[in-house]
Amino acid sequence: MITIEKSERLKNLPPYLFKEIDRQKEEVRKRGVDIISLGVGDPDMPTPPHIIKALQKAATDPENHKYPSYSGMDDFNRAVARWYGKRFNVKLDPGSEVVTLIGSKEGIAHIPLAFINPGDLALMTSPGYPVYNTGVQFAGGVSYFMDLKKENDFLPDLGAVPADIAKKAKLMFINYPNNPTAAVATGEFFKEVVRFAEKNNIIVCHDAAYTEMAFDGYKPVSFLETEGAGEVGIEFHSLSKTYNMTGWRLGFAVGRKEVIHSLGQIKSNIDSGAFQAVQVAGIAALDGDQACVDDINREYTGRRNILVDGLIALGLSVQKPRATFYVWVETPRGYTSAQFTSHLLSKAGIVVTPGNGFGAAGEGYIRMALTVGQERMKEVIERMRATGF
């Protein structure tokens, strides 16, 4: 028998937020409670059939059973470049400005290893996707959090970042449309980001996983559409939410070629690339008819309207999101984020995510994901009403 001693990085790491939510959910379910989960952002609708068919065919080809390219199949990277050209009018060189990822989470977690030395600074938002901070911690870096506030439309105030912090920072993570707040960014904000990055020599890492989840005719912009953005950073994207492919693990990063190359160097030493049959399916998704995306968004629009209108009728403060499948809800007076989350789970069997789980600035909010059908969403409102808070 040997003594097991965890590394300091694991000792200092908080429990991964969504893993902890799954644990709490299972505890309540074991008591026989009918759970309605609006916690984890995992689409409940199936992957579109034409994408599944492409995978089925590709999986039978022995050529796809071998090790894939570390940076992705040429055909997939070209499909990414075509999609960016059609969707955002952004021209990309698929050979040097695109790298395939095993889901965007993987790339986000690994990018700090390419640029952060022990003690180096990275900027990120609070609240924000926890992996930004985790990746920096694993690289030995230090995170500086830019608070997202309601009065600033949940955009970071770059002018409030101390000059000495800005000059020391090597990376900056931003994410619009935003998880968890569902806020959206304008082209003017992205121009400010480019100016800030140029002034302080910071690599911008924009997480654009939710640009295709939008409602009421709104079309989110890409950071790379902004003049100069391609010189200061990269954009992460994923097929997970757009095409209901979370379990397939396929994404990509695009942008400044030196940054893309460095991320590719990290990946070649850590993983062996994404399964080629999944990449073939990804080509079918990106090149295919995007009507499936419109269908998915119509369903989310119905769910959003039921949930938001119901929450407002219950007296809760919430804005109707223009993008993402999240609803960012202020907690009732007298409740912390954790207390209201616990109340909904124990009294109503509803799983939500406490806002402070995304960072200290998320205190006073909960995040609800549009991950159940419309009838079930009506039941959410009725169960909440029955608790009386």
pLDDT, position 35: 93
Question: How much of the chain exceeds pLDDT 70, in percent?
Answer: 98
Q: Cβ(281)–Cβ(351) under 8 Å? A: no
Write out pLDDT tens, residues 134-150.
Answer: 999 999 999 999 999 99
Q: Cβ(160)–Cβ(179) under 8 Å? A: no
Mean pLDDT of the chain: 95
Per CATH, 8-46+291-387 and 49-287 having the same topology is answered no
Write out pLDDT tens, residues 181-200.
Answer: 999 999 999 999 999 999 99
Q: What's the rounded mean pLDDT across residues 314-342?
A: 96
- Closest by CA position to 332, among listed 273, 268, 389: 389
List helix spans (H) across 239-373: 257-270, 276-287, 291-313, 337-348
Judged by DSSP in three states, 154 sits in coil
Amino acid 286 reads L
Assess whether pLDDT exceeds 70 at residue 250: yes
Q: What architecture is domain 49-287? A: 3-Layer(aba) Sandwich (3.40)
Q: What's the rounded mean pLDDT across residues 167-185?
A: 98
pTM metric for this prediction: 0.95
Q: Which CATH superfamily is domain 8-46+291-387 in?
A: Aspartate Aminotransferase, domain 1 (3.90.1150.10)
Q: Domains of the chain: which residue ranges?
A: 8-46+291-387, 49-287
